Amino acid sequence: MRTRPNGTFLRVNATFASWVGYAPHELLYQRRFQELLTVGGRIFHQTHWVPLLQMQGSISEVKLELVHRDGTRIPVVLNAIVRKDGEPVHDLAAFVARDRDKYEKELVASRQRLEQLVHELATLHEEAKDRALFAEQMMGIVSHDLRNPIGTIRMGAALLERTAPAARPVIQRLARAADRADRLITDLLDFTRARLGGGLTASCHPLELHALVSAAVEDLRLAHPTRVLQHRALGSGACEADSHRLEQLIGNLVSNAVAYGDPAHPIVVESSIDPDSFSVSVNNRGAPIPKELHERLFHPMTRGSQGGSARSVGLGLFIVQEIAKAHGGRVDLSSTEEAGTTFRATFPRTRG
């Protein structure tokens, strides 16, 4: 289309005329281009369009809305150039930009959604920081304020055992209860560390595996006097591991076997050394664990469904798996009617 500098149409094609609901002859010399714009478009035409054309001689990619005869709006993208061969005229080219308009609206909506998600993420981050701080504070309370009275109970039990031999069975039960409470606190602290810090750590050093496992089993016999614990050693040599973590792993696996195994059969703790790896396993007899439950047992707050008087909160096997991961190892579970249930933790023999 072509217009005079004041916007009067000098030439218009049928396509443009149809966009605004007029016949071409209804526009030629009778209407001005700006009359077909929205109110905002008319203001833009007066304050920007005309001055820019006068200064630059052309305008590119300007988005405006035309108003159809029936009042509907048509988004268009306009280009214009001033021609000065004789009387100055403005040549305009327009194309409908419905798809572009839709795309731009989608972009705006996407940006708003992104801004909302960023805000939500920032809020969640702050909440996570608050929860982490709370967890750290709770760790301090648990490790200090709860362990202190447990230490007092142990000292008192040891003193009473020396001064009141007749009460020894009761005192020993009291000491075992304090030990269980201390193990529970340790598991809770490790669970919190694993969740906050991305896993447990292991301070590995050379050790004699069979000697460590034998000593741990001996201590566990005292903790579980009603159960028969056997130690089987296979292979020989030293390995590298965190002795404290290995003792904790054995204690958790044995506690699990005590809770869910058949008390009529012994619990067998096996330590095995191979050329490139070593392993510790605990086997107990009893009803087999269904295959579909194997993976879920290592989730925190999950306990087996076998019979027994379990007193844990379901962190033991989770901690076992985390200890294995900290050593670069893994935990496997097999459970059959014939062979019983065996948890086996396998580790690389050396680190590095």
Taking only the tens place, the pLDDT of each residue in 26-49 is 999 999 999 999 999 999 999 999
Domain boundary among 96, 126, 144: 96
User: Residue 92 in contact with residue 33, Cβ under 8 Å?
Assistant: yes
The reply to whether 121 and 193 lie within a common domain is yes
Domain boundary among 50, 81, 96: 96
Residue 329 has pLDDT above 80, yes or no: yes
DSSP string, 296-307: GGGSTT----SS
User: Residue 70 in contact with residue 61, Cβ under 8 Å?
Assistant: no
The reply to whether 145 and 220 lie within a common domain is no
Residue 7 has pLDDT above 80, yes or no: yes
> Per residue in 254-285, pLDDT tens?
999 999 999 999 999 999 999 999 999 999 99
Q: Shortest CA distance to 35 belongs to which of 48, 46, 24?
A: 46
305: buried, middle or exposed (CB in 10 Å: 19+, 13-18, 0-12)? exposed
The reply to whether 232 and 139 lie within a common domain is no
Assign residue 216 the CATH number of its domain. Answer: 3.30.565.10
Work out the average pLDDT over 139-166.
67
**Which of the four pLDDT bands, split at 50, 70 and 90, describes residue 307?**
very low
Looking at residue 195, its pLDDT comes to 66
Domain boundary among 60, 76, 96: 96
Q: Which amino acid, 134?
A: F
Average pLDDT across the chain, whole number = 85
Domain containing residue 115:
103-197
High-pLDDT (> 70) share of the chain, %: 84
Q: Where are the alpha helices (DSSP H) in the chain?
A: 14-19, 24-27, 39-44, 50-56, 98-140, 147-163, 168-197, 209-223, 243-260, 316-326
Q: Residues with Cβ < 8 Å from 202, sequence gap 6 or more?
A: 241, 242, 245, 323, 326, 327
Q: Shortest CA distance to 348 belongs to which of 291, 244, 278, 287?
A: 278
Q: Shortest CA distance to 283 belongs to which of 327, 210, 339?
A: 339
> Per residue in 202-227, pLDDT tens?
889 999 999 999 999 998 998 888 99
Predicted TM-score of the model (pTM): 0.53
In whole angstroms, give the CA distance from residue 16 to residue 36: 11
Total tally of structural domains belonging to the chain? 3
The reply to whether 18 and 43 lie within a common domain is yes
